[in-house]
Structure 1
Amino acid sequence: MPIISIVVPCYNEEEALPLFYQEATRVAGEMSGIDFEFVFIDDGSRDNTLSVLRRLAAADRRVRFVSFSRNFGKEAGMLAGLEAATGDYVALMDADLQDPPALLPELYRAVTEEGYDCAATRRTTRAGEPPIRSFFARLFYRLIHKISDADIVDGARDYRLMRRAVVDAILSMREYNRFSKGIFGWVGFRTKWIPFVNVERVAGETKWSFWKLFRYSLEGIVAFSTVPLALASVLGVLLCLIAFVFILVVLVKTLAFGDPVGGWPSMICVILFLGGVQLLCIGILGQYLSKTYLETKRRPIYLVRETEEGIK
């Protein structure tokens, strides 16, 4: 009998977890001939998420959980869940029911009957999302699609069902600075995209502020593209050419027409502009250097404090 492992990263989801478990087990009960395991990852929650997981694990043998020693982020949670999953197929879901478990049978059919290695979901709308956030999200997807080799689809969710081969390929990528949407696209394999209408959270509040999403987008750009480095080099060359042209203009005006050189205000503007460009380029270099520095430390991506078997 095939086994589907459902991996669910959780951070402060005590209100949503019982509702998610109820809906996920209902859908699992409708998929006959398939066994399930539920792997919850407690990402250092500060509420009663861990207590809820303990109760679920005690009541249902299919429920397993991994609790981190502190908050390591969703990327670490997804990695831990994929490592802990033992099923022939592995599904990634959010606990807030924005990834509808009702789509799971369709995902499973795409993988088992249609010959795909992975079935993934993408939102067709961003209803309920702030307009400014939607605008920058679409802008990011357009940008990353042009500057990266990874296949990152606009509106893509982490919600997907994968064969074991795909999971093993993802686990083979051990970088510390993880951007899973890029990793999913980079490993390739045949993927079917299943669209669905955006669903609001069933309970609780989103953990993704605009600033966190902005930082996450920078992680993706730095992790899967070196175009910013090339742009910094091009910008430097371009400014050198512009400066050379201005030098020629000043020399010609001074020698041929006796026109005196302009005063200090224009000089200050030029200095500030060039200084800003230099700092921008240094900042781009710093981003790549900092990621390299973190990779060379070889720190563990997460630390486990407790599982369903007890405290470590």
Structure 2
Amino acid sequence: MVGNQTVSIVVPCHNEEACMPLLLPAIAQTSRDLRERWPGTRLELVLVDDGSTDRTATLIEQEARSQQWSFAIRWLSLSRNFGKESALLAGLDAATGDLVAVMDADLQDPPSMLIRMARMLDDDAGIDCVGTRRVTRKGEPPIRSLFSRLFYRIMNALSPVEVPDGARDFRLMRRRVVDAVTSLPERNRFSKGLFAWVGFRTAWIEYPNVPRAAGRTNWSFMKLAKYALDGLVSCSTAPLRVASYIGLILCMIAFVATCFIAVRAAAFGDPVAGWPSLTCIVTFIGGLQLMCLGIIGQYLARTYLESKNRPNYIVRNGNVPISRGGQIIPRMQCD
């Protein structure tokens, strides 16, 4: 039952100064709706400043100290920009709720949908997580939408777990799901893939694309491309197998070609001809070799980073003491 439980809402923030004045009233309305539907429900908002260069961290701290809201504000400010995945992990580590939601600060994830999510969890004890997926991409550049759909198709073709097209990080989870995700030790994280990998029964809510409430997105096309590459490499070893298959096929082709050339030379002599085609073939083979080495290098680089065993994030300030993996992640100013 949702009633008499604590609901945590984790919100990673990076340069969201324009959205903060809109986010908190929306969360306050959601808090009122939750308590009206399930009396005794407590809500805490976990804000994680991911090394913002604007006034986001200052606004978060001011709102947390003002105590004007009907919900508790727990906050962390990271020592630098570690990326959304690390900020999300920090928020999940800090969340204490029986139910934990993850959403963006730009209100593209409508907080009002949390009521529907909580109702689904309340009505069906067999559901562990309620996720969301966008069914339209209205307002996005066409090229970004095209590559996004292509990414999900490739991901689902190569990965052992399925990530629905348009899946968002926006979801509401029971505590056991959160504990499973935070227990995963890897440093190179792709949350959509991790949520799918840990399993548990997930129900999906579909909704149309919602534009940002204010400000500008921090995700450029190149950042999204890098994020997609990280997701593919972190969730599947299929690219390594593809590189191996390419190498095997090329070896077979080279063997057949060698036999053909040897027979032709023995039967008809060996005139000097065909150097342009030979140059193209050598260049093509060299390019494939470099591509395969690049694929191997991506996995090797991530193995190297994992072997360093560095923390996913370092906290500069906040009002939440965190201990994860038996390691105190460094000292903070705690209220």
Are residues 1:297 and 2:308 paired? Answer: yes
Are residues 1:44 and 2:51 paired? Answer: yes
Distance 2:248 2:34 in 1: 61
Match for 2:15 among 6, 9, 12? Answer: 12
Q: Secondary structure at the match of 1:203?
A: coil
Match for 1:210 among 213, 217, 221? Answer: 221
TM-score by length of 1: 0.97
Q: Give the ranges of 4+ consecutive aligned residues of structure 1 lying more than 3 Å apart after TM superposition.
A: 308-312
Distance 2:273 2:165 in 1: 50
TM-fit CA distance, 1:203? 0.6
Match for 1:79 among 69, 83, 89? Answer: 89
Q: Which runs of 5+ in 2 are unaligned?
A: 321-331
Distance 2:162 2:42 in 1: 31
Q: Deviations over 1:109-137 (max 9, x none)?
A: 11121221000100010111111111111
Q: CA RMSD in A?
A: 1.3
TM-fit CA distance, 1:293? 0.4
TM-score by length of 2: 0.90
TM-fit CA distance, 1:257? 2.7
TM-fit CA distance, 1:253? 2.3
Match for 2:285 among 244, 260, 274? Answer: 274
Does the CA-based 8 Å contact 1:141-1:152 persist in structure 2? Answer: yes
TM-fit CA distance, 1:261? 4.5
TM-fit CA distance, 1:259? 5.5
Report 1:52-91 matches (<5 A). 52-60=59-67, 62-91=72-101
- 1:179 paired residue number: 190
Report 1:1-312 matches (<5 A). 1-32=4-35, 33=39, 34-60=41-67, 62-115=72-125, 116-258=127-269, 260-308=271-319, 311=333
Identical-residue share of aligned pairs (%) = 53
TM-fit CA distance, 1:265? 2.4
Distance 2:274 2:160 in 1: 48
Distance 2:300 2:141 in 1: 33
TM-fit CA distance, 1:270? 1.9
Does the CA-based 8 Å contact 1:57-1:64 persist in structure 2? Answer: yes
TM-fit CA distance, 1:311? 3.7
Does the CA-based 8 Å contact 1:145-1:152 persist in structure 2? Answer: yes
Letter matched to residue 286 of structure 2: G
Distance 2:279 2:24 in 1: 63
Letter matched to residue 234 of structure 2: A
Does the CA-based 8 Å contact 1:250-1:261 persist in structure 2? Answer: no
Distance 1:263 1:219 in 2: 42
Does the CA-based 8 Å contact 1:69-1:303 persist in structure 2? Answer: yes
Letter matched to residue 135 of structure 1: L
Does the CA-based 8 Å contact 1:54-1:308 persist in structure 2? Answer: no
